[in-house]
Every structure is written in structure tokens, then in C-alpha cells.
Structure 1
Amino acid sequence: MDFKRAVCTATLAMLALPSIAAERDPVCSEQLQEVAGSFLQANGRRQGGGDDRPAISSACKPWPGKEPYTLGVFVYDGIAQDTRRILVALLDQPRSTVVASYWAAVPSDAIETYREGIRIDTARYQLQPGLRAFGVDFSTTEPRYQYGGYGPMRTLYVREGEAIRPVLSGMAIASWRLLNDPWEKGAEEDGPAPEIERFNSTIAIASTRSKGYADLLVTRKSDQPGAKPTTQLLHYDGRQYPTPQE
């Protein structure tokens, strides 16, 4: 794809998918950001010159469990130039402690998506008695292929004692594709108007189980008249669920 086409495709991506900026969860308070930073430093996660900078983006939301905790997602600059790092944490604000956590490096080419919006999904993902998952959505408008792209990407996590673990990663909850080629005549101004098909995906808990976890029913709906929704049943393999196919 040439530069002009790339710019036009990126513009289409922003028009095709509504921004979730208005839906993003509030930035974490200074106190919670300090709690997260102190936790990382105390555990040797962030050390060395220049590695004590605050999070470049964050979001917090009340924990849906009985405990008065807060879920927090914090994005930090990475040590390597091509990475960023994410802390997903369950925080006890009154005691200024981190109860459970997950720490991982992510590619830096998604940095703008982390700045644009983070949404914590606390729908009732009851995977087994006493175990409820929660989701984290990162917004993105970056095209993933020539004639389409993805919207927010969701990861589901579960808490296991002092650890938080992803069980479903990289699910697109919105996507789009072009139904025609606006550049087929070689110039955007002479080509046809773009026709865009938009998709939205939702997750429901199925009545069946695999390896002790409830199966996930993913429904994908198109905005095209007459289009029928498609469904996929995701089975837990003992470690994680597969990413839904498009």
C-alpha cells in the first residue's frame, strides 16, 4: 500500500469505528498511581536510571467482588525502545497495597492506543463458582490490513490469589472491512465512495464447561441489512481460551 492509500485507509479506520474515548474509565488517582509505582519498585520491576517515571496512561474501576478493592490498569514506558509495560492490579486503596497483579511487556507500536483509552469491563463473566473474570479493552484505530481494521481489543483476566492471569487475549470487540476498493481507478477523488461493513462482538457465558471453566459464547454481528450473526463457542484448554476466528 502506497503512502497516500495508507493515509486514506487510516482515515477510514477512524470513521468506521466510533472512538471509545468517551467510554474510557477514569484515570487512576495520584494515590493509586503511587501505590502501583511503589509496588513495582519494591518488587524489582522498575529499577535503574530513568525507570521510575509515572505511568503514561491508566484507568481504575471498582472491583465487582465483595471486597472494597479497585481494579487498576497502568501503562509504563519500557526499558527497551520497542516495548511498553502493563500492570494490571487489584488495589486496596485504604491500606495502600496491591492485593494481586499481572505484569507484562507489550509492543510499542500500540502506544497511541494505550494513550487513547483504557476500559475495564466488569460484566458478570462467572467462569466457575467463586471465580469471576474481568476484561480490559485497549482502543485502537490502526488498520491491521489493507482494507479493514480492528477497534477495541479485549483481554479477559482472572485472579488467582496474589496473581492475575489472562485467560483470553486479543479479542477484537469491533472491526470493519471495505466492501469495495475506493482506489480502483488509481486516484481517491475519481474512485467510488467507500462502502464499509462494521462488526461488533459480545461475550456470553455458555451453560457448558471445559476443563472446569464455563465455555464462552462469542456472537459477532454485522451492520449490513439481512446479515445473520455468527457464533463461536470457545473451550478452555486448561490454560486459556482460543482467540475467536473472524
Structure 2
Amino acid sequence: MRCALALTLFCLPAVASADCTAQLAGWAKKLHPDLTFSAQHSVCKASPVDAKRTLAALAFVESGDEEDGATYGLEVLSAVGGQIEQHVYESAAISSDAVRFESLSLDTARYHLTPELRAFGVRASYVGSSRVNPFSSTDLSLYVLDGAKPRKVLDKLEVQRSGGEWDGNCQGEFYDITSSLAIDKTLSHGYAGLAVTEKTVESRSFAKHDDCSNSESKPVTKRYLVTYDGTHYVVPGQGKHQ
């Protein structure tokens, strides 16, 4: 009996995920019947604080095509019992060309911005098309549900970037930058600061005898604080590939 109960509980998240995935196409048709829904780039996830609530990020092709390059709109929504409760649409939110739009994912880490307000994240990942100049990146946007529609409070903070250049055989130089977020005690306009820790690692590959060897630099860490200005979080000196 205990085993059966444990198995049932283990399967619940998978069942919930499958259920919300089946609803994506219907939500897309209801919200934007004239746009091409990109099912492969769209995601949903049960809210960790409300089992009846589903969070979703839906991508729509606004121009171009998914094979050769496209511009996507992004719909972020919250549904309760399968019914859309709140939603917001951002036109031309994502561009896919030489740096290809790879995927979306939902980030439900504990982003407690105020005692009453917990944010959720949408991560967009990209990958380059060059074999000898590899590139990838991921950016994070945070949303809160505190009104009639989801409100974006952090816009495209780059949390991962890697790239480099090599000869296609062995010799090359590469870098990898990753950023993690933590809630800081510093308050601005009633919202907690976001403490960002950025770690950079450089590496190189080189021919040694008959082998291809690798060496890696010591990680370089940089820390900075992102604060709320009354409407959104301001990222100092942020650059984007788009």
C-alpha cells in the first residue's frame, strides 16, 4: 500500500505537466487565432505555491519562419483550473537568426521580492550556428502576479553566455559566464534587491603530442546588486545579443 501511494505521489508532477501541455494549443488559439503557434518553444508548469494554478509561456511566430529565422511574440499567462486568469503579450520579444532561438523554460525558484509577492521567471535560450565560433546564451525575465495581468519586473538579465573560437580540429580559446541570483536584504521601493554572482571561466585547447589537451583558468567572480526603481529592476550596464 505504501509503495502504491509513493508511486502515485511520484507520478503527480508528471501527470500535471502532461495535462497543462495538452492545454497549450487551446490557449494559443483562444488568445491569438491569427498567429502561428510555436508548440516546440512553448512551456507550462504548475505553480509551486498553488496547485490549482498553472504558469505558461507561449511563443508565436510573427514574421519569418522557424527554419530560416523568425521574430516571435511571447505570451505569459496564469491559468486556474485550466481557465486563463491573467495574461500579457509582448510583440517581437524574441529574435531568431544566426543566433537561433532554442527554447523557453519556466523558473519557479523562491524569488520573494516582498513578504507577499513571489516572482516567477521565464528563461529564453539561444545557440549560435557556427561550428568554429560556438555561442550560446540564456536570459531571464521575472514576472509577478499583482494586478490584472502578469507584470514584468526584470527584463532579460543574461544568466549564461559561452563562446569561443577554434580551428575546427583542436586548437582554440573559449569562455563560459554564468550568473546566479539571490534575494538581498537591501530594500528599494519596498522590493528586495537581487544579488547577482557572475562567474567567468576561460579555457583553451591545444595539440600536445598526438592528443588534444585542455587547460582551464581559475574562475573570476564578480558580484553586483540589481535594485528596483519603483516599476522594474534596473540592470547596470547590461548588454544583449539581440
Give the letter for the 1:228 counterpart.
V
Q: Name which of 108, 113, 116 aligns with 1:122.
A: 108
For 2:229, the equivalent position in structure 1 comes to 237
Distance 1:32 1:148, change over 3 A: closer
For 1:112-141, what per-residue CA distance to the aligned partner results, in whole angstroms no more than 9, with x for missing partners?
A: 854x32110000000001101111111101
Gap regions ≥5 residues in structure 2:
1-16, 65-69, 203-216
Report the 3-state secondary structure (helix = DSSP H, G, I; strand = E; otherwise coil) of the residue aligned with 1:239.
Answer: coil
Q: Name which of 202, 211, 214 aligns with 2:180.
A: 202
The reply on whether 1:88 has 2:72 as its aligned counterpart is no
For 1:168, the equivalent position in structure 2 comes to 154
For 2:43, the equivalent position in structure 1 comes to 59
Contact 1:157 1:164 in 2 (8 A): yes
For 1:216, the equivalent position in structure 2 comes to 194
Q: Percent identity?
A: 28
The reply on whether 1:77 has 2:61 as its aligned counterpart is yes
For 1:104, the equivalent position in structure 2 comes to 90
Distance 1:149 1:211, change over 3 A: farther
Following superposition, the deviation at residue 107 of structure 1 comes to 5.5
Give the letter for the 2:75 counterpart.
L
Q: Aligned residues, how many?
A: 200
Distance 1:214 1:170, change over 3 A: same
Contact 2:35 2:61 in 1 (8 A): no
Compare the two structures and name the one with the higher helix fraction. 1
Distance 1:67 1:154, change over 3 A: same
Cα RMSD over matched residues? 3.1
User: What are the within-5 Å matches in structure 2 for residues 35-46 of structure 1?
Assistant: 35-38=27-30, 40=31, 46=32
- TM-score, scaled to structure 1: 0.70
Following superposition, the deviation at residue 228 of structure 1 comes to 3.2
Following superposition, the deviation at residue 244 of structure 1 comes to 4.8
Compare the two structures and name the one with the higher strand fraction. 2
Relative contact order (alpha carbons < 8 A, sep ≥ 6): 1 or 2 greater?
A: 1
Distance 1:32 1:189, change over 3 A: closer
